[in-house]
Copies of this chain bind each other. A is one copy, B any other.
Amino acid sequence: MKSIVLGTIGIDDIETPTASVTGVLGGSATYASVAATFYSPCGIISIIGSDFDDQHQRLLEQRSIDLGGLQVIEGGETFRWGGRYHANFDGRDTIFTDLNVLPLQDPHLPENYRNTPYVLLGNTDPTVQIKVLDQLTDPNLVVVDTMNLWIETNPTLVEEVISRSNILIINEEEANLLSNKVNPSAMVEDLMAKGLEAVIVKRGSYGAVMRTTDNWFFVPAYPLVEVIDPTGAGDSFAGAFTGYLAKQNDLSQASLRKALVHGSVIASYTVQHFGVENLTKVTAEQISARYEEFLSFSQIEAGQ
């Protein structure tokens, strides 16, 4: 099965406590689609300018990412973002944001996108997320991400998007804002009460928690002694999660749990390098080996 992802494509300048890079390919749709294509075919819904570098275009094409939903604005410039991470990676400052061709105001889905069964609505203006939802023909699964900005400026539309989605992936700060709860479990229960089939809260270096109707599931973050660049970790997590489910075409509890581990595996490779390019070099064998490592982190022999 196939998935589509809505999100940004951008060119990033990134500074971390130990190094910096300029002009690397980034953006939420880029990370998510690269991650998804480790598992199954993926199409992008996004927007770029005609300045978009051939080399970056080839990277997406080499992963067979469907670019039918990618708008190219003639004479326009691609979105650019610059950020600087704090000393211990527990936060970052935006240095500049050149929106350029953004926002994508009028997503137009090609015919072959409309009946895509697996959909990831990356973090963007909920009016755009709704325009995508309106063009879909009965998807099996809609996964949605959002952020503080939209929760604060347009809570009604954020609620509408959530009510039309199956799974919400969100970080702790956003979960707190969206639920008005402080207790981390109460926060998740409150979000579940919106009618979702699963709520996944990303907890950074503490991993992630997934609440489904019947169960809690916890996955740690991969214990890296050195993080190079956290940019795109959340997007590649969501992309791998969705891409894995599309591959399995199975939304059982067992499948959702495995998808969460795969999301964590891909996110762990993402933060080991700058930009998305190095992520594309990860092999199926590496993914498989790290997946087994993740299982070993919580293995318990039988008997109490």
Residues of chain A having any CB pair with chain B under 8 Å: 87-89, 182-186, 188-189, 203, 205-207, 209, 215-220, 223-227, 254, 257-258, 261-262, 288, 291, 295-301, 303-304
Contacts and interface: CB of A to CB of B under 8 A. Distances in A.
Nearest to A181: B225
A87 B183 CA distance: 10
B254 A301 contact: yes
Contacts of A258: 300-301, 303-304
A303 B261 CA distance: 12
Contacts of A186: 225-226
Contacts of A217: 297-298
Nearest to A210: B297
Q: Which of A182, A189, A220, A295 is packed against the most chain B CB atoms within 10 Å?
A: A220
B88 A182 contact: yes
12 contacts: A183-B226, A185-B225, A189-B225, A207-B218, A216-B297, A218-B297, A219-B298, A258-B300, A258-B301, A258-B303, A291-B304, A298-B298
Contacts of A182: 87-88
Contacts of A291: 304
Contact of A203 (B88, B206, B262): B206
Q: Which of A182, A183, A226 is packed against the most chain B CB atoms within 10 Å?
A: A183
Q: Which of A88, A184, A203 is packed against the most chain B CB atoms within 10 Å?
A: A184
Nearest to A304: B291
Nearest to A217: B297
Contacts of A225: 183, 185-186, 189
Nearest to A254: B301
Q: Which of A88, A223, A257 is packed against the most chain B CB atoms within 10 Å?
A: A223
Contact of A295 (B184, B206, B300): B300
Contact of A223 (B185, B226, B300): B185
Contact of A218 (B183, B189, B298, B303): B298
A304 B88 CA distance: 33
Nearest to A214: B296
